């Protein structure tokens, strides 16, 4: 027997892969934010040595909005189109983690391309700017922090880690809102 909530009838949602839509809705927002950041860098709108806090905040907020929108739209698509209107909380959370992982990998690869091929001097400029702008007496501490956050090989790991942690938090919230359990069978 089928219902309006589940037009596909009874089927096992565990047999429906999370990966196709997670790759699309996790990877595409990451690709968009990478291209946005690259355009901003190439246009000279944000100097790595002297970052503009307002520009950085604006870019960060826009990137987060794109990222969250991708997770929300993707989870809705997964629920409505791939699972026939059913989305248990755990499945939604798992889908969000998968999409966040894909987004983190795309971000990491984009960062490597930018930092090693397109703008190899940008990280050194950012490192020098962080040290130069350190408070008096904190230069040594800031130098050690700058060495970590501007390491082009550590940044991809941090990008994936941040993406999965932040994406997991967003996925918890979105899955709780979008969850829809199957109708009980009699």
Residue 56 and residue 108: Cα distance in Å, rounded?
A: 19
Q: Predicted confidence band at 49 (pLDDT cuts at 50, 70, 90)?
A: low
pLDDT of residue 2: 43
Residues 157-164 have a mean pLDDT of 96
Please say if the pLDDT value at position 149 is more than 80: yes
Q: Is the pLDDT of residue 186 over 70?
A: no
d(CA 108, CA 30): 9
Is residue 83, in this structure, part of any structural domain at all?
A: yes
Asked if the structure places residue 98 within a domain, the reply is yes
Domain housing 130 = 19-178
| Mean pLDDT, range 43-70, rounded to an integer | 85
The pLDDT tens digits for 95-147 are: 999 999 999 999 999 999 998 898 888 888 888 888 888 888 888 999 999 99
Per the domain annotation, does 3 fall within a domain?
no
Length of the chain: 186
Query: Do the domain assignments include residue 71?
Result: yes
Q: Between 45 and 166, whose confidence is greater?
A: 166
Domain membership flag for residue 6: no
pTM: 0.86
Domain membership of residue 73 (yes or no) is yes
Q: Looking at beta carbons, which pairs linking 76-81 to residues 24 or more positions away fall under 8 Å?
A: 76/178, 77/21, 77/25, 78/18, 78/21, 78/22, 78/25, 79/178, 79/180, 81/21
Q: Per the structure, how many domains does the chain have?
A: 1
Residue 13 lies in a domain: no
pLDDT digits (tens, 9 = 90+) for 66-99: 999 999 999 999 999 999 999 999 999 999 999 9
Q: What is the pLDDT of residues 170-182, one digit of tens each?
A: 999 999 999 999 8
Q: Is residue 160 part of a domain?
A: yes
The whole-number average pLDDT for the span 14-35 is 96
pLDDT of residue 1: 36
Read off the pLDDT band of 30 (50, 70, 90). Answer: very high
Model pLDDT, residue 56? 80
């Amino acid at each position: 027997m089928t219902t309006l909530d589940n037009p596909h009838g009874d089927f096992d949602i565990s047999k429906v892969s999370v990966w196709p839509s997670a790759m699309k809705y996790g990877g595409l927002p990451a690709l968009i934010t990478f291209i946005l950041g690259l355009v901003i860098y190439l246009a000279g709108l944000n100097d790595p040595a002297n970052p503009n806090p307002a520009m950085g905040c604006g870019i960060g907020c826009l990137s987060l909005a794109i990222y969250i929108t991708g997770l929300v739209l993707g989870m809705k698509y997964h629920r409505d189109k791939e699972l026939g209107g059913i989305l248990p909380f755990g499945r939604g959370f798992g889908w969000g983690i998968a999409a966040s992982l894909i987004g983190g990998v795309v971000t990491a690869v984009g960062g490597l391309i930018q930092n090693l091929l397109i703008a190899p001097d940008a990280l050194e400029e950012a490192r020098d700017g962080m040290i130069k702008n350190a408070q008096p007496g904190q230069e040594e501490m800031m130098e050690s922090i700058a060495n970590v956050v501007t390491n082009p090989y550590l940044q991809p790991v941090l990008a994936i880690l941040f993406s999965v942690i932040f994406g997991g938090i967003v996925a918890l919230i979105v899955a709780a809102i979008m969850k829809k359990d199957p109708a009980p069978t009699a």
